[in-house]
Structures are given as structure tokens and as C-alpha cells.
């Protein structure tokens, strides 16, 4: 053990401080005696402690200890984790008892598997939750470096195959070298297997319709064989080709023809016999085909969009007609269309997820949208509070518009164990939306059931508000079995007590009923009470036959739901259909309200309309045509980057037969659809992307230099938007990066400073995990460089004892004393204050104690000693002298003459006062019993300023010259040191 100083030159301060303390001790000081000695000593120690603290005093002990952190690569390419666990366990057996080890796992991120310990657990298992799709050795090494310090012989053991694809292990190695932490490397290459992969797919970034092009595919293989290369455009096969594959890289070019306009995704797949891994057999690419715009028509029933398709054909607008069930489930596919039209499509046919994709395509990527009405659209289609309602210029809310028949509604919801998770949450969301649609005079009840019914909300009017009802719905939890009949019977019994013009029950379940009740009697009760029931079967496990028969006999509707996200739309649609207030079924001639640039379309008048679905225009929307109610018949607005149009009547001829026969019908419909097309002009920006590990790098080139603020918006298959602010690195050049942690297709759009699209949307593909790439065999070179850079070793799997074979280097373990020295100085500073300012009367305390002891020793009833009063007076005098720093020498001894007088007085039986009174007045000298002037401190009740001190010193010098007679005569017993000194100074010499 020893000591050291961080700043030893500061110890030179001790020399002047020592001289200062010596001078303070020898010079005149306000304290005297022991208090002066203690004060000087304490101050000297305080200064010594402060100097030691400033100089950085540290003690140290010499350690012979090793600290080793194992960093294990647990990415997908490291298939043999058990070998790494065995190596760690075997190498740990060679350590000394005081050596410490820790274990860290790394993938895309790093985690501590085993914190620092001197004894590993018996069975070490590497099971930390990591993203294994990437290898980031840098993260693992930096985490390990933070766990080590310079107090021991520290090192890192890296166990990996060296195939890093995120970060840089050499960069981490340079930082560890600066910390004097070597890195030992154990290379564990994966066993080579027969594998073929698609490494790259390249297509031109932009094509024109009917243009021929080549798709270039890079295929890498570890063995030779024959394979088949297949190409797809938007999941439609466009070609296949037999290819000869050799070990290494193989390049192929397949010719294609750009037939359809819009943004398209291309996929290339390779198939070979003997391939042991299929995760890397596909590659993707995007391109945009320029040409006439293309529209997607979604028709609720097959063939109901014939009039709309004919109008678009006459306007030379390309279109594609599909059923709602085949709407894409990938956001990228919606970007292939310039506009999307819903023609009398109900919300339950679409589903919540597809609605969210369409809303995002309109808001972010500028795709247009139009909804044409009908009995299954708008509020009647269950679009209340859905993403589609959000993008439309009209709202489904009809509050305060017209008188609506009162409605009694009971929701019977299955809460069995099979409804746990998303099903239960969507069922509660459906019930909440339904309650929000109802009016204050409506009555609502919610019944949850498993094997027994449970009234969550007993049937009650909503006059007192909806908040309590909604909060009770949110408390439903899934548990138990399924028995439908008790719940249905309880709902019917309560509904018979409800007073409403329309009574309706919605029953939803996903299971088979455990009991078989008398449903025929229940149906008769419902018919007698004019109660209707609709049923919802969720999934194939539901009692489909029972639910369908109940809905048919109870004059309701039956729904089969395979996608649980459509449950909220079904519930809100049922509530809207029962109110019957959404459909306005009477003829009228629409009125032009705010035509704008569409005024010329209607300036010669418009045909009659026979019905529509009532809605409410949103604030900021432009209402072009209205009904007499007034309700919007035709409205439009800008929503984000896109435009949307709402036509609340139909286009099938039921309510709009005069419009379909109108000569201007095709032109009007075509103009309505074309208004929704993306409003892109010639873009001055060229966008390119590059994948680097788990990061996407964006590069934007502008035709002209400027100071525009650009932002890239990226959307993945999970519909999460990621915004990246692009930084201008040079005039006309912008860059940005986005970290991604999963492969897939992404859409990207470029937004300008105004928040509007600055260029057409494009796509980018994050390919399969780089862990599945076929290695190029150069990993060992990078690991060798890392070991040489940090001063580490290349270890062998067969010799685990090498880890702790070398003798531990001695190292110092430092102990900082700064805080301890500072704390001690503070304590002594308080003691210094106490010594200087606080004086305890030790003499008085001793005298008081002695007096108490004398009283206890005196005989009972005895009189006090005759000199007790004089004793108390002397003790008090002694305490006063001790308090002010004087010497406590007891009462002053009387002068010889005074002693003689007292002796004579005693012999004659007279008091000393009487004896003194008989002395002659003249020629007699003053008694010698006057007290000597005190030393070292002023008299009580006064302070000794500078002038008094000078007089005091002068008086002392005069005493030595004039003798004791003059001192006794000229030192009067007056109060105050200054007054007494001045009296002596002014005394005549002959005194």
C-alpha cells in the first residue's frame, strides 16, 4: 500500500503556510494561554488538510487480478451457440479465485448475459432477447468496455464468425486500444452449406408505358446446378427462365415490357434443387411507369360499377375493377393508382387495416379518393369514426339535423376465453363507437356473457351522458366458456321493458354454445315485442348455423367475420340502419352552392335526384351541390397531400336514374375523378436510396441550387410513418439516414417546405436480413486486424485455457481521499470557531462542584462556615478572570503591610476597617493590597482598543522604572482598563 499525489507541486504551499502559523503564534494574539495554543494548532491542521486535498492525495493497493468480458455474437449466422457456451465454461476453469468474468451477447444491439462475477453459474445459457437479424460487433465491444476499468488486468474475448453488417468493430477497437483494453478473438465460422441467394435486383427507376426494359438479377451460390429464375410484377408472374448456376456470383438479364402505369414492385426468385436455405431466395425492386393515369374501382356488389366504368372509358381514363375482399394488404400497392373509388361499399367488406392504408396513401402520397353513395355507403356502411370518414369531406354525424325515431339497442358480447386479445379489444371498440353514434333519447344496454350472462350496462337512456357507459364497457375482460341462450333470453327480457320506437339486439360470438335452449319460444317473444336481432359470427369456430338462423327468424342480418378488425364497422352500421335516418328517399333538384371551377359543369342545370345518404359537411370542405334539407350531395376538399370527393347519391341508377341518362353524365363523372389525381408537376428533384446495414441513406439532387427544406416520409407494412429531415450538404444536394430493424417494402415521398409533396412517391426495399447472405470468406482478415490493433491474441477453440494462461499484470487500485480530507477540514473548522468564541468556566464548575461536596460533608443543621461568603466572592472573581482569559491564580495575596494590620486588628479584637480608620490621614502610604493589573485580557465590561493598548504598554514600562510604590498609588481601583491606564499615566512622578 502506498500514497501518491495528482498535483504534488501544490505541496510547496506548506512552507509559506508553516511560516504564517509560526508568526501567528509568536505575535500578539487576542487569545492567551492554552486557548491560543489550541487555536493555532487547529488552524494549522485545517490548512494541512486543504493542501493535501488540492494536491490530490490518493492511497493505492497493488492488485494482481484479471477481468475478462466474453462478447458472444448471437446473430442468425452464428448457429452454434452451444460451442460458445462450452468454451466460456472451460476457459473459466483456468482463472484464479480473485479473477472476475462477465458475458455479453450482441446482435443488432447488445445485452449483458452475466454481470461481473468471480464464479460462473453451473450451466451458463445465453438467452438474452436480441434482434438477431443483424450483427453489430461494435455495440457488444463498447458495452464490454464500459464494464471494465483500469484497476485490473482487463481484456475482452470476442467470439464471432466476423460477418458484421452493422457498425465497425475496428472503430471500437481503436477506442479500446486508447483505454489499454486488448481484444482476444475466437473465430467460430459457420459450417458451409449448399445455398443459393438473390443478392440484387435492378430495374430502371422510371419507365414509360409500352417501353421495353431489362431486369438484372445477381444470384450467388455455393454449389453448381441448374435452377429456375422467376420474375413477378405486383405478385403477377411476368416470366420465368431456366439458368445454369455456378459457385460464386451469377448475373442474369430478363427482358420485360412496361404495360401498366403507376408505381410497381418487382420480385425475382431463384429455385434450385439442393438449396438448404430459402430465406434468401427472393429480391425486390421498385419502378414507376409513366403514362395515362389509372383508377381503382372497388364495387360493393359485382357489376354495380358498370355506369361508372362506362363514364371513365369515354373519358379515356384507365381503370381496374375489383371486389373489396381482394383489396391489397400492402401499402405499396395503393401507390400504383392515381385515384381510388368506392362504389356503394360497406365498411365491414373493407376492414379497418385496409381503410388505414388507403387513408395513409391519400394523406401522405397524394393518391385521390372518391366515394359514391348507396344503401351500403357512408353512415349506412358503418364508416362512423373510421379512417375513411377521416379523409372524406363529409361527416357521418347527424346531430341536430332532423327528428329520428327513438332506438333501444342491446349489445350482447361474448367474453369467453377465446375472445382474449385483439378480438376483445375490437369488440369493446365496436360497442364504444355504437354508443357514440346514439342520441340522448336512445336507450342502450351492454350484456357480456361466458357460461353466465353479466350486465355490464343495464338498459338506460343516454340523457345523462355517455362517459359512464363507455368507461363500464372498457372494463370487460375475457374469461370462461360460452353459453348463448341465457344471454339472449336475458337480453330479450330486458328489451321488453324498454320504451322505444325501434328495438334491436346485436349478438356477437366466436364459439359454440354449450347449451341448447328453446330458441323458438324466444323468437316468438321477440316478434311479439317487435324486437329484431342481428348476429355476428367471428371466425370459423363460431356457431354459424345457429347465428344465421337466429338472424333470419328475428328479421335481422347475419355477418360472418374472418377479419376481426371489421367488427366496429358492423356495429356502427347496424346502429345506423336501425335509425333509418341516414337515407333521404324523396325526389329533388340539387342546388348549386359553391361550384368553383366546376361551375361550368352545372351552369345549364342538373337532373333530378330521387334519394341520397344524409351527411354533414366538414369545416373547410367545399360543398358544390346541396339538397333542400340542406345536406351535401357533392362535396370535395384537400386532405393532406391528396384530394377527395364525396357523392352521397348513388351511381347505379336507383336514386340517380335521371343523372345516368343525362348526356353530360360521363363528362361530369370524369371531371370529378380527374380532380382527385395527384397534382405533381415536373419535379426538380432526383431521389435515390441506398441500404447500408440496417440504415437507409437518402440522396436528393436538385436541378437548381436553393435553400429548400426537404423531408422524406417513409411508411412500412406496419403503417408507421418515419420522417427524416434532409440536410443540405452542398448546393442542390441533400442527404439523410433512417435506421430500420426489419426487412420489407417501404413507400417514400418527398415533402417540401410547405408540407406538400415535392416529387412523385417512390418505393424502396429493405432486403432479407444480411445474416442470410452468403459469406465472401474474408471475415478472418478483419478479425486478425482487430487483434493486432488492440494487442490481443487469436485464440483457438481447442485451447480454452489460453484465456487465463498469462500471469496477471500488477495494477494499482486507487482510493481517493479528497472527500474525507474535506470533511475533516470542515469538522476542524467548527472546532476552531468553538475554541475562539466559546469559553467554558472550568474554575467555576470546579468550585461549584467543591461547594456541593462540602455541603454534603457538613453536619446536619450546622451553620455555614464564617468565611463562606468570602469563598464565594473569590470563586466568582476567579470565574470572571478565567472567562476573559486571565490567569486563575486564586485570590490575590495581601501586601505585607496589610497582613500586619490584619494581624494587629485581630490581636486587639477590632476589625481591619476599624484599624484602618485610626490610621493617620497624612503621610500614610496607600495599602499594598490593591490588585495587580491583569495580564493578557481587558477588564470585564470593556474592550481594549488600540489607544488603550498603547497606554497599557507604557504603564508597564513606567512601573519597572518608578517602582512598586508609585504603581500602588497610581493604579486606582476604577472600572475599565483604559481608565486605569490613563490614571497611571497622568500620575505625578512624586507619587
Q: Could you say which DSSP state residue 296 is in? A: E
Average pLDDT over every residue of 674-703: 78
Q: What is the pLDDT of residues 140-186, one digit of tens each?
A: 999 999 998 766 788 999 999 888 888 899 999 999 998 889 999 99
* pLDDT for the residue 936: 42
Q: What is the pLDDT of residues 490-535, one digit of tens each?
A: 999 999 988 888 889 999 888 777 666 678 888 888 888 888 999 9
Confidence of residue 228 (pLDDT cuts 50, 70, 90): very high
Distance of alpha carbon 348 from alpha carbon 344, whole angstroms: 12
Average pLDDT over every residue of 887-911: 45
Question: Which grid coordinates are listed for 563?
Answer: 377479419
* pLDDT for the residue 955: 64
Q: How many Cα atoms are found within 13 Å in the side-chain-facing hemisphere of 48? A: 11
Q: Identify the CA nearest to 571 among candidates 405, 393, 436.
A: 436
Average pLDDT over every residue of 912-931: 43
* pLDDT for the residue 731: 80
Is residue 681 predicted with pLDDT exceeding 60?
no
Average pLDDT, the chain: 81
Average pLDDT over every residue of 772-797: 86
Question: Which grid coordinates are listed for 735?
Answer: 442527404
Is residue 1 predicted with pLDDT exceeding 50?
yes
Q: Three-state SS for 479?
A: coil
The CA–CA distances, whole Å, from 194 to 191, 197, 275, 663 equal 10, 10, 6, 67
Which of left, alpha, beta for 378 (phi over 0: left; psi -120 to 50: alpha)? left
Burial class (CB in 10 A: 0-12, 13-18, 19+), 387: buried
Q: What is the pLDDT of residues 554-565, one digit of tens each?
A: 888 888 888 777
Higher pLDDT, 862 or 485: 485
* pLDDT for the residue 272: 92
Weakest-pLDDT range from 254-268, 281-295, 314-328, 808-822:
808-822
Q: Which of 158-167, 751-760, 801-810, 831-840 has maximum average pLDDT?
A: 158-167
Distance of alpha carbon 381 from alpha carbon 346, whole angstroms: 4
Q: Crossing angle for the helix pair 567-579 and 422-437, nearest 10 degrees?
A: 20
Contact 958, 981 (CB under 8 A): no
* pLDDT for the residue 952: 61
Higher pLDDT, 668 or 31: 668
Locus of grid cell 437507409: 696
* pLDDT for the residue 887: 46
Q: Three-state SS for 981?
A: helix
Is residue 790 predicted with pLDDT exceeding 50?
yes
* pLDDT for the residue 404: 66
* pLDDT for the residue 919: 44
Is residue 426 predicted with pLDDT exceeding 80?
yes
Contact 787, 778 (CB under 8 A): no
Sign of the C-alpha dihedral computed for residues 944, 950, 954 and 957 taken in this order: positive
What is the spatial order of strands in the sheet that 811-816 belongs to? 2-5, 57-63, 811-816
Q: Identify the CA nearest to 644 among candidates 199, 431, 342.
A: 342
Distance of alpha carbon 550 from alpha carbon 355, whole angstroms: 30
Query: Strand 757-766 vs strand 591-592: parallel, antiparallel, or unpaired?
Result: unpaired
Higher pLDDT, 786 or 745: 786
- From first CA to last CA, the distance across the chain in angstroms is 74
Average pLDDT over every residue of 17-46: 81
* pLDDT for the residue 858: 65
Distance of alpha carbon 958 from alpha carbon 947, whole angstroms: 17
Is residue 926 predicted with pLDDT exceeding 50?
no
Weakest-pLDDT range from 42-56, 239-253, 433-447:
433-447
Q: Crossing angle for the helix pair 818-837 and 33-54, nearest 10 degrees?
A: 160
Is residue 403 predicted with pLDDT exceeding 80?
no
Question: Which grid coordinates are listed for 911?
Answer: 476589625
* pLDDT for the residue 579: 64
Query: Strand 711-715 vs strand 721-725: parallel, antiparallel, or unpaired?
Result: antiparallel
Higher pLDDT, 395 or 838: 395
Locus of grid cell 341516414: 582
Confidence of residue 977 (pLDDT cuts 50, 70, 90): low
Q: Crossing angle for the helix pair 868-883 and 842-857, nearest 10 degrees?
A: 160
Q: Could you say which DSSP state residue 21 is in? A: H
* pLDDT for the residue 706: 63
* pLDDT for the residue 756: 73
Amino acid at each position: 500500500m502506498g500514497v501518491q499525489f495528482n498535483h504534488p507541486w501544490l505541496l510547496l504551499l506548506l512552507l509559506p503556510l508553516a511560516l504564517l502559523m509560526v508568526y501567528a503564534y509568536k505575535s500578539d494574539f487576542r487569545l492567551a494561554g492554552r486557548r491560543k495554543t489550541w487555536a493555532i494548532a487547529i488552524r494549522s491542521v485545517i490548512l494541512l488538510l486543504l493542501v493535501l486535498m488540492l494536491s490530490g492525495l490518493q492511497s493505492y493497493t497493488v492488485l494482481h487480478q484479471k477481468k475478462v468480458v466474453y462478447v458472444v455474437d448471437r446473430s442468425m449466422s452464428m448457429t452454434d451457440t452451444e460451442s460458445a457456451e462450452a468454451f466460456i465454461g472451460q476457459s473459466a476453469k483456468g482463472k484464479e479465485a480473485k479473477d472476475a468474468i462477465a458475458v455479453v451477447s450482441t446482435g443488432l444491439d447488445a445485452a449483458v448475459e452475466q454481470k461481473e462475477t468471480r464464479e460462473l453459474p453451473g450451466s451458463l445459457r445465453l438467452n438474452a432477447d436480441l434482434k438477431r437479424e443483424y450483427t453489430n460487433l461494435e455495440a457488444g465491444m463498447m458495452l464490454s468496455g464500459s464494464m471494465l476499468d483500469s484497476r485490473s488486468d482487463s481484456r475482452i474475448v470476442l467470439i464471432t464468425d466476423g460477418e458484421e453488417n452493422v457498425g465497425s468493430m475496428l472503430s471500437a477497437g481503436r477506442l479500446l486500444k486508447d483505454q489499454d483494453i486488448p481484444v482476444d478473438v475466437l473465430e467460430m465460422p459457420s459450417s458451409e452449406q449448399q445455398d443459393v441467394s438473390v443478392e440484387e435486383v435492378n430495374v430502371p427507376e422510371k419507365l414509360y408505358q409500352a417501353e421495353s426494359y431489362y431486369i438484372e438479377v445477381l444470384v450467388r451460390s455455393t454449389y453448381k446446378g441448374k435452377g429456375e429464375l422467376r420474375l413477378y410484377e405486383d405478385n403477377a408472374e411476368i416470366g420465368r427462365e431456366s439458368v445454369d448456376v455456378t459457385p460464386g456470383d451469377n448475373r442474369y438479364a430478363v427482358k420485360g415490357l412496361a404495360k401498366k402505369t403507376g408505381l410497381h414492385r418487382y420480385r425475382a426468385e431463384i429455385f434450385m434443387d439442393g438449396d438448404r436455405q430459402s430465406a434468401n431466395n427472393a429480391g425486390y425492386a421498385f419502378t414507376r411507369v409513366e403514362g395515362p393515369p389509372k383508377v381503382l374501382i372497388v364495387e360493393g356488389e359485382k357489376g354495380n360499377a358498370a355506369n361508372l366504368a362506362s363514364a371513365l372509358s369515354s373519358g379515356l381514363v384507365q381503370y381496374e375493377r375489383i371486389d373489396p375482399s381482394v383489396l391489397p394488404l400492402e401499402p405499396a400497392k395503393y401507390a400504383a393508382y392515381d385515384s381510388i373509388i368506392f362504389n356503394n361499399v360497406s365498411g365491414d367488406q373493407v376492414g379497418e387495416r385496409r381503410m388505414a392504408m388507403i387513408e395513409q396513401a391519400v394523406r401522405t402520397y397524394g393518391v385521390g379518393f372518391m366515394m359514391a353513395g348507396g344503401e351500403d355507403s357512408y353512415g349506412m356502411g358503418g364508416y362512423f369514426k373510421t379512417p375513411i370518414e377521416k379523409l372524406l369531406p363529409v361527416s357521418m354525424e347527424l346531430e341536430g339535423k332532423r327528428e329520428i325515431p327513438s332506438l333501444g339497442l342491446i349489445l350482447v358480447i361474448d367474453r369467453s376465453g377465446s375472445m382474449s386479445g385483439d378480438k376483445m379489444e375490437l369488440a369493446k371498440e365496436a360497442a364504444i363507437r355504437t354508443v357514440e353514434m346514439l342520441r340522448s333519447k336512445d336507450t342502450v344496454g351492454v350484456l357480456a356473457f361466458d357460461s353466465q350472462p353479466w350486465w355490464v350496462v343495464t338498459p338506460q337512456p343516454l340523457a345523462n351522458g355517455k362517459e359512464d357507459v363507455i368507461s363500464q364497457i372498457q372494463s370487460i375482460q375475457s374469461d370462461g366458456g360460452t353459453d348463448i341462450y341465457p344471454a339472449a333470453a336475458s337480453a330479450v327480457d330486458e328489451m321488453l321493458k324498454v320504451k322505444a320506437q325501434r328495438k334491436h339486439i346485436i349478438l356477437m360470438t366466436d364459439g359454440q354454445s354449450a347449451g341448447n335452449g328453446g330458441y323458438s319460444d324466444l323468437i316468438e317473444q321477440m316478434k311479439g315485442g317487435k324486437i329484431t336481432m342481428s348476429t355476428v359470427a367471428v371466425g370459423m369456430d363460431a356457431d354459424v348455423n345457429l347465428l344465421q338462423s337466429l338472424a333470419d327468424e328475428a328479421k335481422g342480418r347475419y355477418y360472418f367475420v374472418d377479419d376481426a378488425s371489421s367488427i366496429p364497422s358492423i356495429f356502427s352500421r347496424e346502429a345506423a340502419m336501425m335509425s333509418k335516418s341516414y337515407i333521404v328517399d324523396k325526389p329533388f333538384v340539387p342546388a348549386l352552392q359553391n361550384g368553383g371551377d366546376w361551375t361550368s359543369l352545372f351552369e345549364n342545370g342538373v337532373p333530378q335526384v330521387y334519394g341520397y345518404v344524409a351527411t354533414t359537411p366538414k369545416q373547410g370542405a367545399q360543398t358544390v351541390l346541396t339538397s333542400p334539407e340542406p345536406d351535401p350531395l357533392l362535396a370535395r376538399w384537400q386532405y393532406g397531400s391528396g384530394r377527395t370527393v364525396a357523392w352521397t347519391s348513388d351511381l347505379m341508377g336507383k336514386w340517380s336514374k335521371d343523372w345516368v341518362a343525362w348526356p353530360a353524365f360521363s363528362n361530369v363523372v370524369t371531371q370529378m375523378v380527374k380532380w382527385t389525381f395527384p397534382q405533381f408537376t415536373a419535379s426538380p428533384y432526383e431521389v435515390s436510396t441506398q441500404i447500408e446495414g440496417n440504415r437507409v441513406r437518402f440522396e436528393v439532387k436538385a436541378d437548381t441550387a436553393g435553400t429548400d427544406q426537404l423531408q422524406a416520409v417513409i411508411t412500412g407494412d406496419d403503417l408507421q410513418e418515419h420522417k427524416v429531415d434532409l440536410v443540405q450538404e452542398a448546393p442542390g444536394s441533400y442527404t439523410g439516414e433512417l435506421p430500420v430493424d426489419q426487412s420489407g417494402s417501404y413507400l417514400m415521398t418527398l415533402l417540401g417546405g410547405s408540407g406538400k409533396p415535392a416529387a412523385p412517391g417512390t418505393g424502396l426495399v429493405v432486403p432479407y436480413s444480411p445474416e442470410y447472405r452468403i459469406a465472401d470468406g474474408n471475415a478472418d482478415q478483419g478479425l486478425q486486424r482487430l487483434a493486432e490493433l488492440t494487442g490481443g491474441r487469436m485464440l483457438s477453440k481447442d485451447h480454452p485455457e489460453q484465456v487465463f494462461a498469462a500471469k496477471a499484470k500488477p495494477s494499482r487500485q486507487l482510493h481517493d481521499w479528497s472527500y474525507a480530507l474535506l470533511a475533516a477540514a470542515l469538522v476542524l473548522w467548527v472546532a476552531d470557531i468553538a475554541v475562539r468564541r466559546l469559553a467554558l468556566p472550568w474554575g467555576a464548575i470546579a468550585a461549584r462542584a467543591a461547594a456541593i461536596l462540602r455541603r454534603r460533608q457538613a453536619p446536619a443543621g450546622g451553620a455555614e462556615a464564617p468565611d463562606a461568603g468570602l469563598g464565594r466572592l473569590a470563586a466568582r472573581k476567579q470565574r470572571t478572570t478565567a472567562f476573559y482569559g486571565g490567569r486563575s491564580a486564586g485570590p490575590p495575596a495581601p501586601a505585607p503591610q496589610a497582613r500586619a494590620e490584619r494581624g494587629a486588628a485581630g490581636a486587639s479584637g477590632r476589625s481591619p476597617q476599624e484599624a484602618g480608620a485610626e490610621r493617620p490621614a497624612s503621610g500614610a502610604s496607600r495599602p499594598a493590597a490593591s490588585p495587580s493589573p491583569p495580564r493578557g485580557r481587558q477588564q470585564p465590561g470593556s474592550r481594549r482598543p488600540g489607544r488603550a493598548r498603547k497606554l497599557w504598554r507604557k504603564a508597564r514600562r513606567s512601573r519597572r522604572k518608578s517602582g512598586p510604590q508609585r504603581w500602588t498609588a497610581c493604579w486606582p481601583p476604577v472600572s475599565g482598563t483604559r481608565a486605569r491606564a490613563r490614571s497611571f499615566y497622568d500620575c505625578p512622578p512624586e507619587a
